[in-house]
């Protein structure tokens, strides 16, 4: 399959890495950063080219553009898009809706996705929306090596973006804070970071693989009068859950603003 990537920032490059694992594919790559483009083309045996060639020739095209660039870039590609009407276009622009994309692209040929950066190591959480079942099957096949993939109604995509798209940054903040506490109490930075990172990974895996609510799993770690409940009380007093909910809600609001 001939697959194009227009825009290879952090997210676009992560998707490229995941999709390349499902190959072999003929990869057409374009980015404003020519140095990065050359590196990625060499690494994935792709062809460094321009947006026009990708739009006119690729069977599937991933748009790794910032939301405010989607309209201008697609407008410039109007002729090339018309030359290749069967191409599937996959946008990862936060907040940009399918109906907005349909102003520039064939409505039945569009997928809206929101990945997160762990797709690059096969541990991502990607959500997507599309109006066509065939598109969904194609997308799931292309993302098969990326981690988990879930189709959602489009009206839930912004909420999913706030959790899964932005969420890794929130978790990195948690790991950094736990690491700092470990250093404060005598652990080396590397040991503290390893302890924090594996603890987050293992706890998440417990939630995914058990049939238990996170609160039940938390209670299994929390002995009466013990160390864990002392820590949990401190987190509650500091507004840990409320701050987390507020962070997700603010990310959601910003996602909506970006799509305007």
- Answer yes or no: is 196 within a domain: yes
Asked if 122 and 213 sit in the same domain, the reply is no
> In a 10 Å sphere around its CB, with 0-12 CB exposed, 13-18 middle and 19+ buried, how is residue 151 labelled?
middle
Asked if 135 and 20 sit in the same domain, the reply is yes
Asked if 86 and 177 sit in the same domain, the reply is no
Q: Of 100, 123, 152, which residue constitutes the final position of a domain?
A: 152
Q: Sorting pLDDT into bands at 50, 70 and 90, what band is 131?
A: confident
With contact defined as beta carbons under 8 Å apart, do 224 and 131 qualify?
Answer: no
Please give the radius of gyration of the chain, using alpha carbons only, rounded to the nearest integer: 21
- Answer yes or no: is 159 within a domain: no
Please write the tens of the pLDDT for every residue from 25-48: 999 999 999 999 999 999 999 999
Which helix (H) or strand (E) segment is 111 a member of?
Answer: strand 110-114
Asked if 201 and 74 sit in the same domain, the reply is no
Q: Sorting pLDDT into bands at 50, 70 and 90, what band is 260?
A: confident
Asked if 175 and 143 sit in the same domain, the reply is no
For residue 128, pLDDT over 90 is answered with yes
How many structural domains are present in the chain?
A: 2
**CA atoms of 207 and 214, how far apart (whole Å):** 6
Residue closest to 176 by CA, chosen among 200, 201, 193: 193
Beta bridge mates, 63: 6, 91
Q: For the chain, give the longest Cα–Cα distance.
A: 70
pLDDT of residue 217: 97
Q: Sorting pLDDT into bands at 50, 70 and 90, what band is 53?
A: very high
pLDDT of residue 251: 96
- Answer yes or no: is 40 within a domain: yes
pLDDT of residue 194: 98
Q: Average pLDDT of 117-142?
A: 94
Please write the tens of the pLDDT for every residue from 228-246: 999 999 999 999 999 999 9
Percent of the chain with pLDDT over 90: 95
Asked if 50 and 107 sit in the same domain, the reply is yes
Q: Over the chain, what is the mean pLDDT? A: 95
pTM of the model: 0.89
**CA atoms of 112 and 10, how far apart (whole Å):** 18
pLDDT of residue 214: 97
pLDDT of residue 75: 96
C-alpha 20, offset from chain centre: 16
**Token pair for 194:** 């390893």
Asked if 136 and 232 sit in the same domain, the reply is no
**CA atoms of 9 and 182, how far apart (whole Å):** 33
Q: Of 152, 185, 211, which residue constitutes the final position of a domain?
A: 152
Asked if 13 and 69 sit in the same domain, the reply is yes
Residue 213 domain boundaries: 167-258
Which helix (H) or strand (E) segment is 242 a member of?
Answer: helix 240-258
- Answer yes or no: is 233 within a domain: yes
pLDDT of residue 71: 95
Asked if 179 and 250 sit in the same domain, the reply is yes
Asked if 179 and 244 sit in the same domain, the reply is yes
For residue 216, pLDDT over 90 is answered with yes
Asked if 42 and 134 sit in the same domain, the reply is yes
Residue closest to 28 by CA, chosen among 41, 13, 18: 41
* CATH code at position 176: 1.10.3730.10
**CA atoms of 88 and 102, how far apart (whole Å):** 12
Q: Sorting pLDDT into bands at 50, 70 and 90, what band is 169?
A: very high
For residue 189, pLDDT over 90 is answered with yes
Please write the tens of the pLDDT for every residue from 191-212: 999 999 999 999 999 999 998 9
Asked if 68 and 104 sit in the same domain, the reply is yes
């Amino acid at each position: 399959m001939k697959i194009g990537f227009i825009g290879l920032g952090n997210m676009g490059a992560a998707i490229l890495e995941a999709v390349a694992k499902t190959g072999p594919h003929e990869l057409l790559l374009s980015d404003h950063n020519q140095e990065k483009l050359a590196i990625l083309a060499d690494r994935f045996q792709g062809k460094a080219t321009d947006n026009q060639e990708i739009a006119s020739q690729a069977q599937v095209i991933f748009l790794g553009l910032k939301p405010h660039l989607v309209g201008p870039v697609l407008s410039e590609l109007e002729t090339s898009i018309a030359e290749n009407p069967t191409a599937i276009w996959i946008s990862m622009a936060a907040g940009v809706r399918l109906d907005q994309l349909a102003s520039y692209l064939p409505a039945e040929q569009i997928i809206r996705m929101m990945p997160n950066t762990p797709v690059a190591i096969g541990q991502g959480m990607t959500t997507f929306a599309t109006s066509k079942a065939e598109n969904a099957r194609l997308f799931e096949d292309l993302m098969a090596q990326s981690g988990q993939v879930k189709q959602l109604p489009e009206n839930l995509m912004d909420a999913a973006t706030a959790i899964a798209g932005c969420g890794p940054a929130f978790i990195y903040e948690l790991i950094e804070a736990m690491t700092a506490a470990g250093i404060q109490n005598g652990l080396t930075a590397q040991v503290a970071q390893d302890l924090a990172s594996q603890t987050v990974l293992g706890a998440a895996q417990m939630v995914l693989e058990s049939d238990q609510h996170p609160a039940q799993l938390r209670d299994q770690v929390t002995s009466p009068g013990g160390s864990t409940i002392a820590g949990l009380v401190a987190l509650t007093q500091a507004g840990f859950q409320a701050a987390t909910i507020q962070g997700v809600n603010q990310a959601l609001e910003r996602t909506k603003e970006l799509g305007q």
